[in-house]
């Protein structure tokens, strides 16, 4: 995918939820972390981002959720050139994207319920209207009996599932996850992956950055593989997802 593709039509761009055209990224005056990336993600697709440590997986996710701007090239989200997005419209683009951060970023002074509900609270939602939905979501991720627990009392897998619940509570169109199975055992990794699969079946576009080669091999999902700042698209190499 280092080869420059044919120019995309306006219709093609509008149909993609994410599109990178000749995107490169460097921090400050350092070397390029990502070089001339060209790819597109269709609505409802599911991809892994793979590659060695330092390959730029987290940087790629940051460019998608608008936490960083490319040094060169164009990033389109939902058909919109993000470089032309105004300070007023960028928050609305972000709200269409859910993120499970590598370090989770749970707030220790809030219960599991309040952590999961935080995006709705920030958006000005009425607790009386979203309380039942949040409780149902926590039950769906297996935390129905732990919704009043504080993060410090949750096990590693429970924290991961809480972070997933928070990321999807406002029903994003894209879900990004940065190493979501890095600190859990194999059985919990499979359970977490099945949550992502179910979200994808409901229509969410899912992108997971991971070092977990066993999980990727089992998944039967395509890969965006980064190495040396370059990106290649690799077809599914294993069985279908559970």
Domain membership of residue 186 (yes or no) is: no
Domain membership of residue 184 (yes or no) is: no
Domain membership of residue 151 (yes or no) is: yes
Eight-class DSSP state of 63: H
**3-class SS of residue 179:** coil
Domain membership of residue 131 (yes or no) is: yes
Which pLDDT score is estimated for 238?
60
Strand positions, DSSP E, 128-229: 174-178, 205-209, 223-227
**3-class SS of residue 165:** helix
pTM, rounded to two decimals: 0.87
Q: How far is CA 172 from CA 28, 39, 65, 226, in A?
A: 31, 21, 12, 25
C-alpha 180/C-alpha 163 separation (Å) is 9
Q: How far is CA 38 from CA 9, 102, 112, in A?
A: 15, 25, 39
Q: Does the CA dihedral 28-29-33-36 come out positive or negative?
A: positive
Which pLDDT score is estimated for 166?
95
What domain range is 158 assigned to? 107-162
Which pLDDT score is estimated for 7?
44
User: What is the full per-residue pLDDT of the chain (242 aa) written as tens digits?
Assistant: 333 443 455 545 558 999 999 999 999 888 999 999 999 999 999 999 999 988 999 999 999 999 999 999 999 999 999 999 888 888 889 999 999 998 899 999 999 999 999 999 988 889 999 999 999 999 999 999 999 999 999 999 999 999 999 999 999 999 999 999 888 888 888 888 988 999 999 999 999 999 888 888 888 898 999 999 999 988 876 655 45
C-alpha 51/C-alpha 131 separation (Å) is 40
Which pLDDT score is estimated for 5?
42
Eight-class DSSP state of 72: E
How many structural domains does the chain have?
Answer: 1
Domain membership of residue 210 (yes or no) is: no
């Amino acid at each position: 995918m280092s080869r420059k593709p044919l120019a995309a039509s306006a219709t093609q761009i509008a149909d993609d939820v994410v599109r990178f055209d000749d995107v490169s990224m460097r921090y400050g005056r350092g070397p390029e972390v990502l070089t001339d990336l060209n790819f597109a993600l269709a609505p409802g697709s599911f991809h892994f981002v793979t590659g060695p440590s330092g390959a730029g997986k987290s940087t790629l996710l940051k460019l998608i959720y608008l936490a960083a701007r490319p040094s060169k090239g164009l990033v389109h989200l939902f058909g919109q050139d993000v470089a032309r997005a105004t300070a007023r419209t960028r928050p609305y683009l972000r709200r269409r994207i859910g993120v499970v951060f590598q370090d989770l970023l749970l707030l220790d002074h809030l219960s599991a319920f309040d952590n999961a509900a935080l995006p709705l609270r920030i958006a000005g939602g009425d607790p009386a209207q979203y309380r039942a939905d949040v409780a149902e979501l926590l039950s769906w991720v297996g935390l129905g009996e732990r919704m009043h627990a504080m993060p410090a009392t949750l096990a590693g897998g429970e924290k991961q599932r809480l972070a997933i619940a928070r990321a999807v509570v406002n029903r994003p169109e894209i879900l990004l996850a940065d190493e979501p199975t890095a600190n859990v055992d194999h059985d919990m990794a499979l359970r977490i992956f099945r949550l992502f699969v179910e979200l994808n079946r409901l229509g969410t576009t899912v992108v997971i950055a991971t070092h977990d080669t066993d999980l990727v091999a089992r998944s039967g999902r395509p890969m965006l593989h980064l190495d040396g700042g370059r990106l290649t698209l690799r077809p599914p190499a294993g069985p279908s997802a559970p």
